[in-house]
Every structure is written in C-alpha cells, then in structure tokens.
Amino acid sequence: MFIVYHYAVAVIFCVVTMLCWGSWGNTQKLAQRNWRYEYFYWDYVIGVLLFSLLGALTLGSIGSEGRSFFTDLQQATCTNLALAFTGGIVFNAANILLAGAISICGMAVAFPVGIGLALVLGVLINYIGASKGDPLLLFAGAAFITLAIVFSGLAYRSAARQHTRLPAKGLLLSILAGIIMSCFYRFIAAAMDMDNFAQPAPGKMTPYTALFIFAVGVLVSNFPFSFIARSKPVSGTHIPLMAYFKGSAKSHLVGIAGGCIWCLGTLFSLLASAKAGAAISYGLGQGATLVSALWGIFVWKEFDGAPPAARRFNVAMFFMFLIGLGLLIYAGK
C-alpha cells in the first residue's frame, strides 16, 4: 500500500486535506439552490463511503508494503473495528449539525467557528492520545486559532446586525458541531498502529481499512440522524424521505462529489499522521477554516453589505489563523 515516509510530504498531504475539508461545503451551496440540505447530506454520505472503498481497493492494496485491504480487514479485532465505527458516528453527528449551520449562516461563519473550535479541542485531544511534536509551539498555535475564532464570532455579530439572514441559531449549531467534531479523529487514530503503517501491530488497521469502517459508521448512523434532521429541521418544515428519490441526477451527483472531496482530504490526513503525528495532521487539516471562509467571503459574497467592522474582524481572523497554522507546522519539525 502507499505510505508517507517524509515530513515534508506529510505537510503537503495536510495542505491537500485543508483544501478538501474547506471546499466540500461548496457542493452544499451549489445544491442548496433547489435541494434541501437534509437530502444533500444523504448523497454526501454515499460519496464518503464510495471514495473510502475506492481508496482501500487501490492505494490501500497496491505494492508489497503493509497489509492489503481485505487481509487487513479480516485480521482487525472487534475493539479496533468498533473504535473506527464509533468515530464515524461521532463525526456524522457533528457534520450534520455543521451542514445545518451552513444552510443558515453560510460557510464564512459556520466553518471558522465550528471547525476552528474543533481544531483547538481536537489538537489537545489528539496530543494527549499520541504525544508528537513540540507541545509549546503546538499549544501556542492552538491559542492563536482560538483568537481567530473570537474574531470570526465578532464579524458574525457585526454582520448579523445588518442581515436578518444570519440568526443566532447558526452560531449555536456551529459551536455544538465544533465540540463534537473535535473527538472523531481520535477514535480512528486509536484503531490504527500510528508508529508503523508498513507492519501494523496484529489487530490494528491501516489508514485505508480504518477509513472504510469509519465510513460505514457514518452511513449506518445517518439513518437515525437523518430522521431527526427531517423531523426537527433547523429551518423550514418537515420533509418526507421519499422526496429524496425525486431529486435530479445533477443534485445527487453534486452531493456525492462533496462526500468524495471530504473523504480524499481525510485519507491524506490519516496517511500523513504517521510522520506528522495525529495532533498536527488533524490541526493542519482543520486549517480548512481559512479555505472555507475565503470561499464564503469572496465567492458566495456572504458578507456583502456588512459594516466595515465586520471586514476588519475577518482580516484579523485570517491573520490569527495563518500564525496559528504556521506554528503547528513548525511544531512537527
């Protein structure tokens, strides 16, 4: 299977993760014009599962190093399978809340607040689970990103005074999504042998197998989560499940593409984690907040008409995030 051996390559993979995690929300924005996010999310989940399987059958099964996908799956213990599966459930609970927040307040707010919070808490959780990297630089980076979250919230508040389309519910959903999102990565990392992907310990899984089991957890948990989301929608009225099958092929393909984009980023993050460490790999990937905020501000014009104070707060947010991400990269060296 394909394995990352150099820290510089791991950082490049984390940058790809950042771009993927920060860009999948664009597919929801595209589909949102005539497609409720509760339906979009089913296609997104299908995309995650399909891409995880594709990665396992290709990069996860080629070459002479490591265990191939099916061999690895057969030898995995129930405990490790349960850990990766639980990671999928935890992630899905957070991500469906994040999707709801995007539908209310847009990418420029939901990602910096929700994913920024997930980054800070996730770095701490993953460092405790597997201490790798300079802790001083690591936590200093997390502190700067915390400041970025504060500035994002201030920008949101300034814009909300001018736009009634930015209700407080969106901010609350983003915060709740961030708290839950911070925990999912640790479950996947615990199911893998983080010290040796080429010859994982018996019972542990390679990143490819762990990601597939994670995706199965996302799919299975989406049945109850989707029912709740449709029965108690964050906006609009209750919608029937069967209407999902009346969607156009284009609407379904956009959602599946969103899931594939996110899953590509997650696969690269897991592959990078052996050299960079789970805390740094996760933290750099969650720099997606910068990418998503750029999409929201400059492409989707989510802050058009906002007062000058909101723009100043957004500039400060970007500056703090860049410093924080730079410290996280240097912490791994």
Q: Among 26-40, 163-177, 200-214, whose mean pLDDT is lowest?
A: 163-177
Burial group, residue 79, by CB count within 10 angstroms (0-12, 13-18, 19+): exposed
- Residue 51 is part of which domain span? 7-332
User: Alpha carbon of 73 to those of 62, 80, 158: distances in Å?
Assistant: 15, 10, 51
pLDDT tens track for 156-183: 778 766 654 556 788 889 899 999 999 9
Maximum Cα interatomic distance, the chain, rounded to a whole number of Å: 60
Q: Among 23-27, 113-117, 247-251, whose mean pLDDT is lowest?
A: 113-117
Q: How many other C-beta atoms are found inside a 10 Å radius of the C-beta of residue 125?
A: 19
pTM of the model: 0.87
Q: Is residue 37 part of a domain?
A: yes
Contact call for residues 29 and 251 (beta carbons, < 8 A): no
pLDDT tens track for 176-204: 999 999 999 999 999 999 889 999 999 99
**Which string of b and e fits 28-58 if b means at least 16 CB within 10 Å?**
bbbbbeebbbbbbbbbbbbbbbebbbbbbee
Q: Is residue 181 part of a domain?
A: yes
Check residue 277 and give left, alpha or beta (phi > 0: left; psi -120 to 50: alpha): left
Q: Is residue 195 part of a domain?
A: yes
Q: Is residue 285 part of a domain?
A: yes
User: Mean of the pLDDT values across residues 251-260?
Assistant: 95
Higher pLDDT, 312 or 152: 312
User: Alpha carbon of 154 to those of 58, 146, 159, 241: distances in Å?
Assistant: 45, 13, 9, 38
pLDDT tens track for 71-98: 999 999 999 999 999 999 999 999 899 8
Domain count for the chain: 1
Q: Is residue 192 part of a domain?
A: yes
